[in-house]
Amino acid sequence: MRRVREKFPGIVLNVVEGMSGHLCQMMRQAQLDLAILFGHDAIPEMPSEPLVEEELFVMLPDSSDLIPRFRKNLSCAEVSLLPLILPTGIHGLRRRITAEFEQRNLPMNVVAEIDSLTLLMSCVRDGMGATIKPMSVAILEGQMRVGWRTLAFSDASMKRSNFLYSVDPGRLSPAAAAVRTELRETVVELSQSGIWQGVNLI
């Protein structure tokens, strides 16, 4: 937002935050020019380019007694015993998590399915369970930014890839094309500087 306002003050951004399944629908219905989605086949009929690979962590508040304080990572078997709050199965993150546990024949103790990131994280903060998210969720601005524990998986490569989708280049307006360029450059700068942790450029 800051980069676009500084470099292109005439561009008015319309930013939509939502779960990946909802954003896919909006892209298909031509309600968005650009979207960051998880996986190279999220919308097979639209062009995409790789951005970053994010590591997934078990997240819970500092005040939680679900996991002893000294633990820095957990096995998939240990995570399968935790009460988990996750998005519903139509979303890419849930499918990625489910696939990892099914591969190990481990059940998941899902106590709630919530498709609102804000509500999901509020429930986790209130002690209703743990969740599995990338580090970016833990470094949100405001009250949500502090007070979180992020525990890595000790026996699984729990990662997801972020891809930038756009409408066909011939239909992309000059303003949208400029925003796409700025978005890519911002991602590179944040990841290389270490401000955005838990990611690798792809």
Task: Please tell me whether residues 47 and 58 are part of one structural domain.
Answer: no
Q: In the prediction, which pLDDT does 141 show?
A: 43
Of 83 and 41, the structure prediction assigns the larger pLDDT to: 83
Sorting pLDDT into bands at 50, 70 and 90, what band is 56?
A: very high
Going through the chain in order, the beta strands assigned E by DSSP cover 34-38, 48-61, 73-74, 84-86, 110-113, 131-134, 148-153, 159-166, 199-201
Q: Look up the CATH number of the domain holding residue 110.
A: 3.40.190.290
Q: In the prediction, which pLDDT does 145 show?
A: 57
Q: Is the pLDDT of residue 144 over 70?
A: no
Q: Which residues of 42-57 are buried (b: 16+ CB within 10 A; e: fewer)?
A: bbeeeebeebbbbbbb
Tell me what the mean pLDDT of segment 128-151 comes to.
77
Q: Is the pLDDT of residue 143 over 60?
A: no
Task: Please tell me whether residues 126 and 153 are part of one structural domain.
Answer: yes
Residue 196: closest CA among 112, 156, 139, 144? 139
Q: What is the DSSP secondary-structure string of 42-60?
A: SSTTS-EEEEEEEEEEEEE
Task: Please tell me whether residues 151 and 60 are part of one structural domain.
Answer: yes
Q: Is the pLDDT of residue 121 over 70?
A: yes
When divided into structural domains, the chain yields a total of 2
Angle at 193 between CA 189 and CA 194, to 5 degrees: 120
Domain housing 178? 2-52+160-201
Q: What is the pLDDT of residues 58-109, one digit of tens each?
A: 999 999 999 998 999 999 999 999 999 999 988 878 988 999 999 999 999 9
How far is C-alpha 70 from the geometric centre of its chain's CA atoms?
Answer: 26
Task: Please tell me whether residues 73 and 135 are part of one structural domain.
Answer: yes
What is each CA distance from 62 to 36, 107, 135, 171, in whole angstroms? 30, 25, 15, 47
Task: Please tell me whether residues 94 and 128 are part of one structural domain.
Answer: yes
What's the mean pLDDT when you consider all of the chain?
90
Q: What is the pLDDT of residues 159-178, one digit of tens each?
A: 989 999 998 878 889 999 99
Task: Please tell me whether residues 117 and 129 are part of one structural domain.
Answer: yes
Q: Which one of 127, 143, 159 terminates a domain?
A: 159
Q: What is the DSSP secondary-structure string of 104-121?
A: TT----EEEE-S-HHHHH
